[in-house]
Chains A and B, each alone.
Chain A
């Protein structure tokens, strides 16, 4: 067995420990689940891990392929529960890309000591797809002014990144590390339709003093200090979102086939093909980290297929099946979340069709 197969097997074992908590997390609970501590460690770069993990776990932070494969399996347990994991997540990947060694050390030290949830504040009330139009400002005294919305862990997160303007041009949009609580930081949770473990919220910054050392990217060339410096990070994350969508679709399909063991459906084949596509796209990203089309192709297909799988399940089973099977009903809500994460399907289509989007 290869390390890659072992990692997939480990992820499947951990997924089985997430599933029993799926409905409780949907209802707002945040249970302590030992498997989440293991997942958190797997998703942390090896030098900052605090427990011994099987060798195969190292692959997770090394390749997009391993991260994608593991996320499919984990989300097949339950993506909502996976999202209550206190992992470095997108904030961690961005700190890896934009932070100096001492900034990385400081960020992961907080994660190790306090075990906080992390946030990645990009979207604002008035702009999402077009991040270059953001209004949040970091002034010359390193004070942050503005607001973000629809950000995971905005209210409960302890540390994260916030993107803000330091000047008028897109190149001047930079990331700063922000702690919560901080004087001037307010977070409010939003009521979510699905994938409730992600805990979306809004945050306002009323002149928070972050300090010069919190500004990431100063050691990088001007073109790579901000938004462009994390383009590769988004490529990886986009496939992780696609992987989570496919994981939920597989969970739905497994559930339906467990209810109807005699069924041999085409959906199984389509989902297997989607897994191949996602893994191929992830392999492309590992070989060419700047290729934006491959992750968009993988994410677009997986998110659309997940919504289709949910629709198939509710129409294939008997009337009232969604009310009779609360897990199925929950997953039929969860699948819609992935559309909005890391670029809507229209944005992916523009990237695939033209090689870039016009935002």
Chain B
């Protein structure tokens, strides 16, 4: 994962940033949310409202992970450009009520 690779190479206070508890908490939350989204699509992938809900949740997770990349995700083809494309795609989803 991009965030893990990025933070494994950075340090704060002389220690790897990846080891910070608040970082690990954010990574764990993202992992759990992604697993839940996968199951939602498995049980209700044909339900437009559920698909929309999953997409919105994933947009939130994307942002939580992009924050971990610091300013590097914000410039020169960083993660935010892809995150936004995914959000625009979700915004055009017309299936939901």
Contact = CB atoms under 8 A, between A and B. Distances in A.
A and B bind? yes
Interface of A: 123, 126-130, 133, 149-150, 190-194, 200, 307, 311, 314-315, 319-323, 329, 332-333, 336-337, 339-340, 344-346, 349-350, 358-359
B71 A123 contact: yes
Q: For B10, B66, B73, which residue has the most chain A Cβ atoms within 10 angstroms?
A: B10
A190 B76 contact: yes
A42 to B, nearest CB: 28
Contacts of B11: 127, 130, 133
A345 B12 CA distance: 15
Q: For B10, B66, B70, B91, which residue has the most chain A Cβ atoms within 10 angstroms?
A: B91
A197 to B, nearest CB: 14
* Binding site secondary structure of chain B: helix
Given A130-B13, A150-B75, A320 B67 contact: no
B63 A200 contact: no
Contacts of A321: 91
Contacts of B70: 128-129, 340, 344
Interface residues of B, number: 33
19 contacts: A123-B71, A133-B11, A149-B71, A190-B75, A193-B74, A194-B80, A200-B71, A307-B63, A311-B59, A320-B92, A322-B88, A322-B91, A333-B80, A336-B63, A337-B74, A340-B71, A340-B74, A345-B67, A350-B22
Nearest to A345: B67
A311 B96 CA distance: 17
B84 A333 contact: yes
Contact of A319 (B56, B63, B94): B94
A322 to B, nearest CB: 5
Nearest to A339: B67
Given A323-B88, A332-B84, A346-B26, 9 more contacts: A191-B77, A193-B74, A200-B75, A307-B63, A311-B59, A319-B93, A340-B71, A340-B74, A359-B12
A344 B92 contact: no
Contacts of B60: 311
A221 to B, nearest CB: 25
Nearest to A336: B80
Contacts, number: 87
Interface of B: 10-14, 22-23, 26, 56, 59-60, 63, 66-67, 70-78, 80-81, 84, 87-88, 91-94, 96
A191 B76 CA distance: 5
B25 to A, nearest CB: 10
A358 B13 contact: yes
A319 B91 contact: yes
A236 B81 CA distance: 31
Closest 7 CB pairs between A and B?
A: A150-B71, A190-B75, A193-B80, A130-B12, A319-B94, A322-B91, A340-B71
Contacts of A350: 22
A191 B93 CA distance: 29
A268 B71 CA distance: 30
B33 to A, nearest CB: 15
Contact of A193 (B10, B23, B81): B81
Contacts of A333: 80, 84
Nearest to A329: B88
A130 B13 CA distance: 7
Contacts of A126: 10
Contacts of A314: 87, 91
Contacts of B26: 346
A202 to B, nearest CB: 9
A322 B89 CA distance: 10
Q: For A123, A150, A349, which residue has the most chain B Cβ atoms within 10 angstroms?
A: A150
A359 B92 contact: no
